[in-house]
Amino acid sequence: MRLSIDVHLDYAFPEPADVLLQIEAAALPDQRIESESLVIYSDNPIRAVAGEEGIGQRCWARADQRLMADYRAVITVERPVVNLAQLAPTPVRLLPPETVGYLLPSRYCESDRFEHFVRRQFAGLSGGALAVALIDWVRGALEYSSAATQLRGGALTTFAERRGVCRDYAHLLVALARAAEIPARCVAVYAPGVDPPDFHAAAELWLAGAWHLVDATGMANSADMVRVAVGRDATDIAFMTIFGTAFLFAQTVVVRRLDAQS
């Protein structure tokens, strides 16, 4: 799958502020960057730093009155489709050390508050079969609602309200998976077919020795998502973190499928 990505950001700043951008696709074995360019319109120096887990890249910028950025890329995704339901469970004591942190609660994924619910609701399931059941439950239980962006809560709020946007779906799935002793992390992705078109949040679950991308909203599939960043929750994967105050002028994210390579 070949995808084109076109991002435009335009923000106003009443006072100078530092800004941490995270909008570049990550270079990974299952997603090859054919071409890309990032242009940040600023009179101040730009500094790149590595993202969480060494995946992707963040970019520090200094905003003074106005900050504009344009990112364009063509990415080839070569990621096989895996039947999660057939994957065996891994006892937590045998997990690799780099996954253990993704078993623990975080600010927006309060997994410790869901342990009783998971044990009761999904009794008798384990491994990939449990993961699929969790994904199906989240997809069926929630209503996608842009109005829910104003809630700005974590998985517990989403669980109570039964509605949310992509980050809320991701938070709830990640929290439930961690409560089920499956390492899980949030992932910022680009994906075609997202409605409304925007930066998108998905999840990755650790099963049978590998991370597996899943989108609980059902709008994207693992074969055509492009990872930007990974982390414990939305705090780590935000496309823009502003150390000050900003106002939106314009923001567009366009992801298109290109013709398959011959």
The tens digit of pLDDT for each residue in 196-239 reads 899 999 999 999 999 999 999 999 999 999 999 999 999 999 99
Inter-residue long-range contacts of 26-31, CB under 8 Å, 24+ positions, other chains counted? 26/51, 26/55, 26/56, 26/57, 26/226, 26/227, 26/228, 26/229, 28/55, 28/227, 30/77, 30/78, 30/79, 31/75, 31/76, 31/77, 31/78, 31/79, 31/226, 31/227
User: pLDDT per residue over 140-162, tens digit each?
Assistant: 999 998 876 555 789 999 999 99
In this predicted structure, what is the pLDDT of residue 150? 55
pTM: 0.94
Spell out the domain ranges in the chain.
2-78+240-258, 84-237
Q: Is the pLDDT of residue 262 over 60?
A: no
Class of domain 2-78+240-258: mainly beta
User: pLDDT per residue over 8-28, tens digit each?
Assistant: 999 999 999 999 999 999 999
Percent of the chain topping pLDDT 90: 92
Q: What distance lies between CA 64 and its chain's CA centroid?
A: 29
Q: Is the pLDDT of residue 254 over 90?
A: yes
Confidence of residue 3 (pLDDT cuts 50, 70, 90): very high
Identify which has the larger pLDDT, 42 or 158: 158
Q: Is the pLDDT of residue 260 over 60?
A: no
User: pLDDT per residue over 67-124, tens digit each?
Assistant: 999 999 999 999 999 999 999 999 999 999 999 999 999 999 999 999 999 999 999 9
| In CATH, 84-237 is 3.90.1010.10 | no
In this predicted structure, what is the pLDDT of residue 146? 81
